[in-house]
């Protein structure tokens, strides 16, 4: 992409927004380690000085990219979960949202699983991944605790495994129906798990 054309087409978007938009697209589709800063700068039409002013470097840009992915996914799940009225349906709504995600034409696996494969301990991506994983576990834990299951910690771990397995199968096997299989397993699990 021509940097001048990118800058002209950017309208009122800030340099930060353009950097994040380019980073989101490139890091997700091609991989964080494969995409250099010069490529992000070229795609965004932003000067190198603006990158360092807004992020300090690639590590901070990667962390912001993952934080944005996390925020968008959390919003999407919040909307799906809030639309349901029963505790079981709220849990299953997470798997329904995965099914919608897997069917998107640019689906390239879970951004957090992909980033974890390239992440170094203590890096910006590592910290963002840990935040996401904590949030994911807490999301399931709150739902199963509110539903009155006897062993919410165990059930949470099982549901997270189904969530992760669906993501991996959808990406590695190019199987957009992996979420349906995980949803059915989650439904069976919820139906048989003892309640208080």
Look at residue 7 in the predicted model and tell me its pLDDT: 45
SS3 state of residue 151: coil
The per-residue pLDDT for 196 is: 85
Angstrom distance (rounded) from CA 152 to CA 156: 6
| Residue 127 pLDDT level (bands cut at 50, 70, 90) | very high
For the segment 166-191, the average pLDDT, to the nearest whole number, is 96
pLDDT at 11 (0 to 100): 58
- % of the chain residues with pLDDT over 90: 92
Q: What's the pLDDT score for residue 10? A: 45
pLDDT in tens, 30-56: 999 999 999 999 999 999 999 999 999
Is the pLDDT reported for residue 59 higher than 50?
A: yes
* pLDDT of 5: 46
List, for residues 94-108, the tens digit of each pLDDT value: 999 999 999 999 999
Q: How far apart are CA 33 and CA 19, in angstroms?
A: 16
Q: How confident is residue 2, by pLDDT bands cut at 50, 70 and 90?
A: very low
């Amino acid at each position: 992409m021509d940097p001048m054309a990118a800058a002209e087409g950017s309208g009122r978007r800030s340099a930060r927004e353009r950097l994040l938009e380019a980073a989101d697209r490139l890091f997700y589709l091609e991989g964080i380690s494969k995409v250099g800063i010069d490529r992000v700068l070229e795609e965004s039409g932003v000067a190198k000085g603006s990158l360092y002013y807004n992020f300090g470097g690639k590590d901070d840009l990667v962390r912001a990219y993952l934080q944005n992915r996390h925020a968008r996914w959390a919003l999407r799940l919040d909307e799906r979960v809030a639309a349901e009225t029963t505790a079981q349906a709220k849990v299953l709504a997470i798997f329904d949202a995965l099914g919608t995600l897997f069917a998107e034409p640019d689906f390239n696996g879970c951004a957090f699983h992909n980033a974890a494969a390239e992440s170094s301990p203590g890096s910006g991506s590592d910290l963002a991944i840990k935040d996401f994983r904590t949030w994911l576990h807490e999301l399931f834990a709150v739902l199963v605790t509110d539903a009155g299951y006897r062993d919410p910690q165990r059930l949470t771990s099982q549901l997270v495994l189904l969530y992760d397995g669906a993501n991996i199968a959808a990406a590695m096997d190019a199987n957009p129906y992996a979420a349906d299989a995980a949803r059915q397993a989650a439904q069976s699990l919820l139906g048989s798990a003892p309640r208080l």
